[in-house]
Amino acid sequence: MQSNEPYLDFLSCFNDSRNIIVSYEKLQEKMNHFNQWFLSLEQEKREVLSQQLILLLEEAKCKVQEEQNLLEQILLSENAKGRANSTYGKFI
C-alpha cells in the first residue's frame, strides 16, 4: 500500500477556510510532488481523489479571486486618491 504523505503534504498548503497558506514556490513544490504520487495510483483511486480535490481547488480558487478583487479595489481607490491629491492638493 502506498503512503498518502504527498496528499497530506499538499493539503497542508490550505487552511480550514481554503486559503493558501504557503508561498507560491512551496505550493508549486508540493504540487509537483503530489502530481507524481497521484499518477502512480490506480485509476479508481485517482478518480475518487480527483472528485475530492476538485471541491478543494474550486474553493481555493474562489478565495484567491476574492483576494485579488479586494486588492484591485484597494489599488484603484489609492490611485484615485493620488490623482485627486495631485490635482487638488492634499485634501484626501
pLDDT in tens, 54-81: 999 999 999 999 989 888 888 888 777 7
pLDDT at 40: 94
Neighbours of 50 (CB within 10 A): 11
Q: What is the pTM of this model?
A: 0.69
* Average pLDDT score over the chain: 88
The amino acid occupying position 48 is V
pLDDT at 73: 86
Helix orientation angle between 24-39 and 43-88, rounded to the nearest 10 degrees: 160
Q: Are 57 and 49 in contact (CB under 8 A)?
A: no
Q: Are 31 and 10 in contact (CB under 8 A)?
A: yes
Percentage, residues of the chain above pLDDT 70: 89
Please give the distance of CA 84 from its chain centroid, rounded to a whole number. 35
Q: What DSSP letter does each residue of 33-46 carry, written as one string? A: HHHHHHHTS-HHHH
